Amino acid sequence: MSIQAPEAGWFRPPSGGERTWMGLALVWCLVMSAMMPFWHFKGQQNSTGESYTVEPVKFIERVERFVASNKVGEDKGIPIVEPAPGGDAYLLGRMWSWYPILKLKQGQTYRLHISSSDLQHGFSLQPVNMNFQVLPGYDHVLTLTPTMKGDYQVICNEFCGIGHHLMTGRIIVE
Amino acid sequence: MSTVITSPDVIPEAPPRGNHTSGKVRTCATTGLSVCLDAQRFIKLNAVFAVVFLALGGIAALMLGLTRWPAVHLLPADWYYRLLTFHGLNMLIFWILFMEVAILYFAATSLLNSRLASAKVAWVSFGMMAVGAVMVDAVVLMGLGDVMMTSYVPLMAHPLFYLGIILVAVGTLIAVGNFFATIYIAKRDRTYVGSVPLVVFGATAAAIIAVVTLLHGAVVMIPTFTWSLGWTGPPDPAWYRIVWWGLGHQSQQVNVCAMVSVWYLLGHVTTGAKPLNEAVCRSAFVLYILFINLASAHHLLVDPGVSAGWKIWNTSYAMYLAVLASMIHGFTVPASIEVAMRGKGHIRGLFGWLAKAPWKNPGFSAMFLSLVIFGFLGGITGVTLGTQQINILAHNTLRIPGHFHTTVVGGTSLAFMGLAYYVIPLIFRKDFYWKGMARWQPYLFAIGITVMALGMSFAGSYGVPRRHWDVEFSGAAQAAGFGSGAHLMLGIMGVGSVLAFVGLISFVLLAVAAVFFGKPIEGKMPSWGEAPVVAAAKPAVPAGAHDDHKAPGTMALVIILLVSFVVYYFANWKALSDVWHVR
């Protein structure tokens, strides 16, 4: 009984329905375990966690250099920047905006470096709905290939102070 | 005068006896269990404080639900974030920890016929926990700790915020130590024979995980505290996340262990169920102890700083053995109830046993609804969202709170409410008022939390973030927002949160009225109604013949669970395959 000591000799192997269910559940757990490495090699969407430590000041310098050499326009004073296809792109999360606006080409692959100059932020690309964590001091590299054209929003989904819900950005895919 | 000389080898056959100090024990008229009066005092104190924190967290929850319901949008931004921090801490930490300490004291004393190891230590523990919790609540309400429950660095709160959490953690650790000391003296004084009961075994598993959890808490909170005082540099944010989730995630596994123990307890009390195979149930608890800590990694699945190999290893090869454990309990608990009900003569069809179960008994309904919500909603969503790549679709969206409100609220909190319907008459020895209300309270709460969590989950599928005041982004530099589908789901979430709040506050009213104003119970507790025995019932299968016990209804239920699981899991892989390519 659950609240009394079990009868002597309680240590028995599982039998009957219990045994069948344990077998089924174990097989399912193994299938789920196999899915992740399988997708890592065969799937197109993986979070590899590729990242490098970086001083926030140094990261801001890199972002500014990237903006200066690749700027193609402006929207409400925020630069629109178009990286070379296959090249590096930079995105800075800060209280409370994503900087700059990126202009990418459909089907091209970019190395997108994301970091923060202050608190933790959440890179959330909408309405595609892809989400990655952004930490100050870490250059998080996403090797990203936009598969659809359009005008996309980047919002922040990690709480970063009282203006958190104002933190937006933009990625244009042509 | 002659004395009987007992040879040493006779001693092991002597009947077990309590080790109570005279005058510090009573015998429960209902269950026949001995109740240590010291333990009883601390069970009461911890349970009362737990319910106070539940009520505070619940009021905050209503405000939050009404803020995220876009048509209402009640609170201003600063109070939304403040009460969100407050809600998380009061519900997930204070209500649960105080309740768990009460459960540990009960399991180690009454179920083992032992006295509490030390009342003084229990006072120290309780004092630290109470002071710490009140300190944290005060700091947060004063606006000095708007950092969310997770307090991710370099976001900084007032030093007293961290000190309060450290006090609660250390106080709980001391209570867990008192629990282990009580188990030790019970064993030493041979107050029971054979192995400990299953519920004690489960509580011990919870306590072991709690030690590991609370040590993580100390490791992460102490340098954060000294940093907030300006004594040390800031902790590394990636390091903080890894260690903090050793606290934040594992504490939820303490809840799972405690909840499963409560399922076994309430299943037994309300239907007479007993485990079909003790070895299976106990092994599943051991799997929790061994593997659950690795599941903390599933908060870091889209983080920088940790590799894909690390993420996959920690989520799959080890975590799924803990998933297996939950799937085992998900079978053994209803199967034991089915066998008990069939033994009472409810043998019609596949589900006759379930239809005749004591659904009007709030202890049973809370337990069974908790089991269903935890399994079908919490379990399936948790494992799926915790899959390394699928997490890209879910991280920090409302799908995450949609998931954990069906584990820790629809699961653990509801099970603890069910337990309270027995703790109050048996330990406080007070009778409930408004028993009709008590009978529907678990249903109302379960429906509310389910509707709310489904609204959250679907809104999150549209990408709606968690912990976010304004999904319209009014005033943001660049326009953003969500479509009508997401707004509809947020409305459903709002309605669900109101229903759940009514269910919660009904529980608080019932508990407070009974504890402070209830009629004292002399003798046996009034029955909530246990499962009746059919007159023509076949005699129960003799002990030792458990292998013949069949639970076809439960098998049907778990097959439905597995099919739902497989469909949901692969539907998410399909959704993932549609998004941009990333590696």
Closest CA to B364 of B566, B183, B528, B147: B528
Closest CA to B341 of B266, B419, B268, B417: B268
Contact residues for B24 (Cβ-Cβ < 8 A; gap 6+): B36, B37, B38, B115
Give the residue-averaged pLDDT of B10-32. 78
* Per-residue confidence (pLDDT) for residue B14, from 0 to 100: 53
Reported as a pLDDT band with limits 50, 70 and 90, residue A108 is: very high
Query: With an 8 Å Cβ cutoff, are B395 and A142 in contact?
Result: no
B472 CA: distance to closest CA in chain A (Å):
9
Residue A170 identity: R
Reported as a pLDDT band with limits 50, 70 and 90, residue B11 is: very low
Which of A25, A47, A133 lies nearest to residue B389, judging by beta carbons?
A: A47
* Per-residue confidence (pLDDT) for residue B543, from 0 to 100: 44
d(CA B198, CA B187): 16
Contacts of B265 in chain A (CB under 8 A): 2-3
Contacts of A23 in chain B (CB under 8 A): none
Which of B395, B550, B579 lies nearest to residue A17, judging by beta carbons?
A: B550
Give the three-class secondary structure for B465: strand
Q: What is the pLDDT of residues B76-125, one digit of tens each?
A: 999 999 999 999 999 999 999 999 999 999 999 999 999 999 999 999 99
Please state the separation of Cα B215 from the chain's center in Å.
Answer: 20
d(CA B561, CA B372): 9
B226 CA: distance to closest CA in chain A (Å):
19
A74 CA: distance to closest CA in chain B (Å):
12
Contacts of A45 in chain B (CB under 8 A): 389, 392, 576-577, 579-583
Write the DSSP assignment of B354-393 as a string of letters. Answer: HHTS-TTSHHHHHHHHHHHIIIIIIIHHHHHHTSTTGGGG
Closest CA to B273 of B204, B362, B357: B357
Query: With an 8 Å Cβ cutoff, are B397 and A135 in contact?
Result: no
Which of A12, A47, A103, A109 to mutate to probe the B interface, most B CBs <10 Å? A47
Percent of chain A with pLDDT over 70: 99
d(CA B343, CA B357): 12
Which of A28, A51, A159 lies nearest to residue B304, judging by beta carbons?
A: A51
Contacts of A8 in chain B (CB under 8 A): 194
d(CA A64, CA A74): 15
d(CA B45, CA B528): 24
For the ranges A54-63, B216-225, B310-319, B460-469, which has the lowest average pLDDT? B310-319
Which of A1, A122, A127 lies nearest to residue B396, judging by beta carbons?
A: A122
Closest CA to A135 of A96, A102, A100, A92: A92
CATH classification number, A51-173, choose in 3.40.190.10, 2.60.40.420, 3.40.50.1980, 1.10.540.10: 2.60.40.420
Give the residue-averaged pLDDT of B312-317. 82
Contacts of B469 in chain A (CB under 8 A): 164-165
Write the DSSP assignment of B297-317 as a string of letters. Answer: GGGSTT-SSS-HHHHHIIIII
The answer, yes or no, to whether residue B8 has pLDDT greater than 60, is no
* Per-residue confidence (pLDDT) for residue B245, from 0 to 100: 93
The answer, yes or no, to whether residue B399 has pLDDT greater than 50, is yes
Which of B147, B388, B479 lies nearest to residue A36, judging by beta carbons?
A: B388
Residue in B closest to A149 by C-alpha: B580
Contact residues for A166 (Cβ-Cβ < 8 A; gap 6+): A96, A97, B473, B475, B476, B477
d(CA B241, CA A137): 14
Residue in B closest to A75 by C-alpha: B478
Q: What is the pLDDT of residues B479-533, one digit of tens each?
A: 999 999 999 999 999 999 999 999 999 999 999 999 999 999 999 999 998 877 7
The answer, yes or no, to whether residue A147 has pLDDT greater than 70, is yes
Which of B148, B277, B481 lies nearest to residue A14, judging by beta carbons?
A: B277
Contacts of A100 in chain B (CB under 8 A): none
Contacts of B273 in chain A (CB under 8 A): 2
Reported as a pLDDT band with limits 50, 70 and 90, residue B15 is: low
**Residue B579 φ then ψ, to 5°:** -90, 175
Query: With an 8 Å Cβ cutoff, are B277 and A156 in contact?
Result: no
Which range in A96-100, B288-292, B474-478 is most confidently predicted, on average pLDDT?
A96-100
The answer, yes or no, to whether residue B545 has pLDDT greater than 60, is no
Query: With an 8 Å Cβ cutoff, are A4 and B463 in contact?
Result: no
Query: With an 8 Å Cβ cutoff, are B478 and A45 in contact?
Result: no
User: Topology of domain B360-470+481-530+547-583, per CATH?
Assistant: Cytochrome C Oxidase; Chain A (1.20.210)
How many CB pairs (< 8 A) connect A and B? Answer: 319
**HEC assignment per residue over chain A:** CCCCCCCCCCCCCCCHHHHHHHHHHHHHHHHHHHHHHHHHHHCCECCCCCEEECCHHHHHHHHHHHHHHHEEEEECCEEEECCCCCCEEEEEEECCEEECEEEECCCCCEEEEEEECCCCEEEEEECCCEEEEECECEEEEEEEECCCCEEEEEEECCCCCCCHHHCEEEEEEC
Contacts of A20 in chain B (CB under 8 A): 555
Reported as a pLDDT band with limits 50, 70 and 90, residue B28 is: very high
Residue in A closest to B477 by C-alpha: A168
* Per-residue confidence (pLDDT) for residue B535, from 0 to 100: 61
The answer, yes or no, to whether residue B17 has pLDDT greater than 50, is yes
Residue A27 exposed, middle or buried by CB count within 10 Å (0-12, 13-18, 19+): exposed
A108 CA: distance to closest CA in chain B (Å):
10
Tokens of B470: 């304004």
Query: With an 8 Å Cβ cutoff, are A6 and B317 in contact?
Result: no
Reported as a pLDDT band with limits 50, 70 and 90, residue B412 is: very high
Give the residue-averaged pLDDT of A69-96. 96
Mean predicted lDDT score pLDDT of chain B: 92
Q: What is the pLDDT of residues B37-71, one digit of tens each?
A: 999 999 999 999 999 999 999 999 999 999 999 99
Q: Which residue has the tokens 């399991």?
A: B107
Which of B280, B301, B467 lies nearest to residue A159, judging by beta carbons?
A: B467
* Per-residue confidence (pLDDT) for residue A163, from 0 to 100: 96
Which of B197, B306, B582 lies nearest to residue A144, judging by beta carbons?
A: B582
CB burial string B373-406: b at 16+ within 10 A, e below:
bbbbbbbbbbbbbbbbbbbbbbbbbbbbbbbbbb
Contacts of B198 in chain A (CB under 8 A): 1-3, 6
Which of A119, A148, A157 lies nearest to residue B396, judging by beta carbons?
A: A157
Reported as a pLDDT band with limits 50, 70 and 90, residue B7 is: very low
d(CA A77, CA B227): 37
Reported as a pLDDT band with limits 50, 70 and 90, residue B189 is: very high
B244 CA: distance to closest CA in chain A (Å):
14
The answer, yes or no, to whether residue B536 has pLDDT greater than 60, is no
Q: What is the pLDDT of residues B459-493, one digit of tens each?
A: 999 999 999 999 999 999 899 999 999 999 999 99
* Per-residue confidence (pLDDT) for residue A5, from 0 to 100: 85
A79 CA: distance to closest CA in chain B (Å):
12
* Per-residue confidence (pLDDT) for residue A62, from 0 to 100: 98
* Per-residue confidence (pLDDT) for residue A2, from 0 to 100: 80
Query: With an 8 Å Cβ cutoff, are A36 and B312 in contact?
Result: yes
The answer, yes or no, to whether residue B2 has pLDDT greater than 60, is no
For the ranges A121-130, B184-193, B292-301, which has the lowest average pLDDT? B292-301
The answer, yes or no, to whether residue A1 has pLDDT greater than 60, is no
* Per-residue confidence (pLDDT) for residue B533, from 0 to 100: 79
Contacts of B467 in chain A (CB under 8 A): 157-159, 164
Which of A156, A164, A165 to mutate to probe the B interface, most B CBs <10 Å? A165
Residue in B closest to A41 by C-alpha: B583
Which of A8, A25, A138 lies nearest to residue B305, judging by beta carbons?
A: A138
**Bigger pLDDT: B392 or B249?**
B392
The answer, yes or no, to whether residue B374 has pLDDT greater than 70, is yes
Write the DSSP assignment of B213-273 as a string of letters. Answer: HHHHHHHHHHHHHHHHTTSSPPPPHHHHHHHHHHHHTHHHHHHHHHHHHHHHHHHHHHH--
Tokens of B554: 């439960």
Reported as a pLDDT band with limits 50, 70 and 90, residue B403 is: very high
CA atoms within 13 A on the CB side of B27: 3
